[in-house]
């Protein structure tokens, strides 16, 4: 991903100060930029994120949404590292929607794709370094010494005739021009970055004082409970609304996208009233949908839909390279191969099941629209608010709370639209829409189901010479009307097809194709998106090739990864952690070990695991993971993302499956969608491998790797080759 300055917004500094009500004397800096240097008077891309008060308190608005991934801590550390402040005096604020807070990598303010740290890294370093330079400049002038003679540590400026603190010089420093290119630290001297102190948000999270979306409250607030049809585009007639309005506590009812809302003074009143209302569905895009029709739809796509190609992605280099396959060459290699291996795979729809059910608060009044909630995409929420209310964008304020889990679900804005529509029924009052867990499951935007057909050619030595994999399943981009990524026009939806065959493997001929499948199931972005299915497909098939070749699964992979030192390193480390010894695959006699990896630009994750298989009984004995994300800003949190991501992947691998019957998903609550508990989680060891001075993506890295590692281990133990997830369809666990 390349840094871009295209999102820089030239805001008037005075306008920004006025809008925020920041008193004179505080230090406000935008991200440094060429713009700023050119004009000398305008804060740049990220506008007002940092302030230093007269008492030395430092406040940083972290522009990304905190949903557990630790973005708040990581971004704060980046600024603090270059600022050389006392990190304990830095307080973090949750963000609001503001173009000045856009992620340079996305050119929007959204938290997704594991790109908060990577996208904001350079800009936030410059923000901290620029502020530091201004503070030191004032100190040097005041003390009559050269800037170079001063040093800064924990907010204290020393080296002159007397020490000065940031608080002493902040007011004057704020009046200086912001340096365009402040010198940045040598990463070897980082102390805050790479440190192991506990995250700043932990205290609030263990005392129950962290404010999540569901905790938003103010006097006179109303709660909206929903009655929802089985699909957002379904049409229906509602019965019982008139009677519901007369129930105790009920204030109003509202039509919302795909259903109705009952507004009451308390959740329980709204909830009870909602249960008295029924929707008679007159038409639904998924009428009659069932597991059987879904499977038939994918079969039909393979049979009747002309496949769209997708390029191989070489992500081990920066910037990543695209390699467009020559289909005739691939087909010829397959046709003339001495040996072919074929396999078909499938994965089901998956639910997000964030612990905080979907919720969002909104208020429409004379001053505009306020949206306050657990949002991954405040930019889009704001635009949606303007569209739905007809208000100009500047009259729409969007405030982001802590997210009780996001995993991509809260990137959707379906629930924001519903919250706004509910609020429009009670102008002047904050209305908090709270979904039940049942609604959270039923009206999820699921990870789509996919089916894959793969074929590979092996030469006489068992080396793969060609791999052709085709995938069918619903397009997330099509469901959300999203344009293809730049450079991918006319190609398959990357969310379905990318890395279906790993570009990293030195296989001479590789071809990825996508049979677009129209199923109209609401689908969306689920932690690791494409890789959530394709790591399973890609790494299971490679393992099957190792079996066919009769070669040790690790050695087989390494032989195709000679130009991928960082992938080799994580594979070899994970293997060592699990005690891997080379042998013929599938000969584990009930005790197997498997390995798999996934990768993105500057992010490489390998997982090895050990299992015991006796008949149909599966036991996962141990899990080990090695991870290289370049520079880990917050290593303890990074390790937690890897082990937590494995548990997330374990749920999907073992039990994750949303069934459909009679035109609706059947999962109602956790009883129908099994979650791992403490007793289900085996020991997980994580090793971080340093990989340079640039941070890479973290939050989605391990989730997709666990399923193939586990299935490969099961096959190695002599158990069945799992080609359809979840594993509980085949084995007992």
Partner 1 sequence: MPVITVNGQQRDCPADPDTPLLWALREELGLTGTKFGCGVGACGACTVHVDGEAVRSCQLPLSDVGAGKVTTIEALSPAEAQALHPVQQAWIEAQVPQCGYCQPGMIMAVSALLARDPDPSEATIREQITNICRCGTYPRIVAAVRQAAAANRKAS
Residues that bind partner 1 (CB under 8 A): 66-70, 198-199, 201-212, 214-215, 217, 223, 248, 266-269, 272, 353-357, 402-407, 434, 436-438, 636-637, 640-641, 643-648, 650, 669-671, 675-679, 681, 683-684
Question: Least separation, in Å, of the C-beta of 591 and partner 1?
Answer: 22
Q: Which is nearer to partner 1, 74 or 298 (CB)?
A: 74
196 half-sphere exposure, CB direction, 13 A CA radius = 3
* DSSP 8-state class, residue 238: E
- Show the tokens assigned to 10: 């030239």
Residue 167, classified by CB atoms within 10 Å of its CB into exposed (0-12), middle (13-18) or buried (19+), is middle
* DSSP 8-state class, residue 330: H
CA distance 260 to 285: 18
Which residues partner with 321 through β-bridges?
A: 314
Q: Which is nearer to partner 1, 118 or 401 (CB)?
A: 401
Question: Least separation, in Å, of the C-beta of 266 and partner 1?
Answer: 5
Question: Least separation, in Å, of the C-beta of 437 and partner 1?
Answer: 4
CA distance 4 to 55: 36
Tell me the CA distances in angstroms from 531 to 112, 510, 718, one per residue in order: 14, 18, 27
Task: Give the containing element (helix H, strand E) for 255.
Answer: strand 250-256
Question: Least separation, in Å, of the C-beta of 650 and partner 1?
Answer: 8
Q: Which is nearer to partner 1, 483 or 679 (CB)?
A: 679
Q: Which is nearer to partner 1, 209 or 481 (CB)?
A: 209
Handedness of CA 85, 89, 92, 93 (dihedral sign): negative
Transcribe 474-513 into DSSP letters: E-HHHHTTPPPPTT-TTSPPHHHHTTSS-TTS--SEEEEE
* DSSP 8-state class, residue 131: H
Question: Least separation, in Å, of the C-beta of 76 and partner 1?
Answer: 15
Q: Which is nearer to partner 1, 198 or 288 (CB)?
A: 198
CA distance 604 to 316: 9
CA distance 213 to 205: 14
Q: Which is nearer to partner 1, 334 or 422 (CB)?
A: 422
Phi-psi region at 297: left, alpha or beta (left = phi > 0; alpha = psi -120 to 50):
alpha
Q: Which is nearer to partner 1, 31 or 656 (CB)?
A: 656
Question: Least separation, in Å, of the C-beta of 218 and partner 1?
Answer: 11
What number of helices (H) and strands (E) belong to the chain?
A: 20, 28
- Show the tokens assigned to 119: 């996208």
Question: Least separation, in Å, of the C-beta of 329 and partner 1?
Answer: 43
* Three-state secondary-structure class, residue 690: coil
Question: Least separation, in Å, of the C-beta of 536 and partner 1?
Answer: 18
- Show the tokens assigned to 89: 């005096």
Q: Which is nearer to partner 1, 64 or 69 (CB)?
A: 69
CA distance 712 to 719: 10
Question: Least separation, in Å, of the C-beta of 211 and partner 1?
Answer: 8
Question: Least separation, in Å, of the C-beta of 110 and partner 1?
Answer: 17
Q: Which is nearer to partner 1, 440 or 543 (CB)?
A: 440
CA distance 311 to 313: 6
| 692 closest CA partner among 315, 122, 188 | 188
CA distance 511 to 693: 34
Question: Least separation, in Å, of the C-beta of 206 and partner 1?
Answer: 4
Task: Tell me what percent of the chain is helix, strand and coil, each rounded to the nearest 5.
Answer: 35, 25, 40
Q: Which is nearer to partner 1, 345 or 655 (CB)?
A: 655
Q: Which is nearer to partner 1, 8 or 222 (CB)?
A: 222
């Amino acid at each position: 991903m390349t840094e871009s300055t295209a999102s820089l917004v030239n805001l008037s500094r005075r306008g920004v100060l006025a809008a925020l009500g920041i008193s004179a004397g505080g230090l406000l800096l935008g991200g440094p930029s060429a713009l700023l240097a050119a004009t000398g008077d305008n804060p740049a891309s990220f506008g007002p994120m940092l302030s230093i008060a007269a008492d030395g308190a430092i406040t940083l608005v972290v522009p990304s949404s905190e949903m557990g991934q630790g973005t708040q801590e990581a971004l704060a550390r980046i600024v603090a590292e270059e600022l050389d402040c006392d990190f304990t005096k830095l307080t973090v604020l949750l963000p609001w929607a503001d173009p000045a807070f856009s992620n340079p990598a996305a050119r929007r303010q959204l938290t997704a794709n594991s790109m908060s740290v990577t996208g904001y890294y350079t800009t936030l370093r410059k923000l901290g370094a620029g502020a530091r330079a201004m503070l030191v400049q004032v100190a040097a002038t005041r003390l009559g010494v050269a800037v170079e003679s001063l040093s800064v540590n924990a907010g204290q400026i020393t080296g002159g005739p007397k020490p000065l603190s940031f608080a002493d010089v902040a007011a004057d420093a704020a009046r200086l021009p912001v340096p365009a290119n402040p010198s940045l630290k040598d990463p070897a001297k980082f102390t805050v970055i790479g440190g192991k102190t506990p995250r700043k948000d932990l205290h609030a999270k263990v005392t129950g004082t962290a404010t999540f979306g569901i905790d938003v409250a103010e006097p006179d607030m109303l709660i909206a409970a929903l009655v929802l049809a089985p699909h957002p585009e379904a049409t229906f007639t509602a019965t019982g609304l008139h009677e519901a309005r007369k129930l105790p506590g009920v204030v109003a009812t509202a039509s919302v996208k795909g259903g109705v809302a009952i507004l009451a003074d308390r959740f329980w009143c709204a909830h009870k009233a909602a249960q008295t209302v029924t929707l008679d569905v007159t038409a639904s895009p998924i009428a009659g949908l069932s597991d059987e029709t879904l499977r038939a739809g994918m079969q039909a796509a393979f049979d009747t839909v002309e496949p769209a190609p997708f390029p191989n992605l070489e992500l081990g280099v920066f910037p990543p390279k695209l390699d467009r396959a020559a289909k005739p060459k691939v087909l010829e290699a397959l046709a003339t191969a001495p040996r072919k291996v074929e396999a078909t795979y499938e994965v089901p729809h998956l639910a997000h099941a964030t612990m905080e059910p979907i919720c969002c608060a909104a208020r429409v009044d004379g001053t505009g629209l306020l949206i306050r909630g657990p949002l991954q995409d405040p930019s889009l929420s704001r635009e949606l608010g303007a569209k739905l209310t007809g208000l100009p964008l500047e009259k729409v304020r969007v405030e982001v709370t802590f997210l009780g889990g996001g995993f991509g679900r809260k990137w959707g804005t379906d629930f924001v639209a519903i919250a706004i529509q509910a609020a429009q029924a009670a102008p002047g009052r904050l209305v908090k829409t709270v979904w039940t867990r049942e609604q959270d499951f039923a009206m999820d935007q699921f990870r789509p189901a996919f089916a894959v057909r793969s074929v590979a050619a092996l030469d006489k030595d068992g080396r793969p010479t060609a791999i052709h994999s085709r995938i069918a399943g619903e397009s997330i981009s099509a469901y959300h009307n999203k344009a293809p990524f730049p450079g991918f026009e006319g190609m398959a939806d990357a969310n379905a097809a990318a890395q279906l065959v790993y570009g990293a493997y030195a296989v001479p001929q590789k071809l990825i194709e996508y049979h677009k499948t129209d199923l109209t199931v609401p689908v969306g972005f689920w932690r690791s998106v494409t890789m959530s299915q394709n790591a399973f497909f890609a790494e299971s098939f490679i393992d099957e090739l190792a079996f066919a070749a009769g070669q040790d699964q690790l050695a087989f992979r390494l032989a195709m990864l000679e130009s991928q030192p960082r992938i080799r390193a994580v594979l070899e480390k994970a293997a060592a952690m699990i005690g891997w010894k080379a042998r013929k695959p599938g000969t584990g006699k009930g005790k197997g070990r498997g390995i798999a990896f996934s990768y993105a630009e500057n992010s490489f994750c390998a997982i090895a695991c050990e299992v015991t298989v006796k008949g149909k009984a599966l036991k996962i004995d141990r899990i080990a993971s090695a991870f290289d994300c370049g520079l880990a800003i917050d290593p303890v949190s990074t390790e937690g993302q890897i082990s937590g991501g494995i548990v997330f992947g374990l749920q999907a691998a073992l039990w994750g499956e949303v069934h459909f019957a009679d035109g609706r998903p059947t999962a109602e609550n956790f009883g129908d969608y099994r979650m791992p508990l403490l007793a289900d989680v085996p020991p997980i060891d994580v090793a971080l491998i340093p990989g340079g001075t640039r941070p890479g993506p973290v939050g989605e890295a391990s989730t997709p790797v666990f399923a193939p590692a586990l299935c490969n281990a099961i096959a190695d133990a002599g158990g069945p080759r799992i080609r359809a997830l979840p594993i509980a369809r085949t084995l007992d666990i």
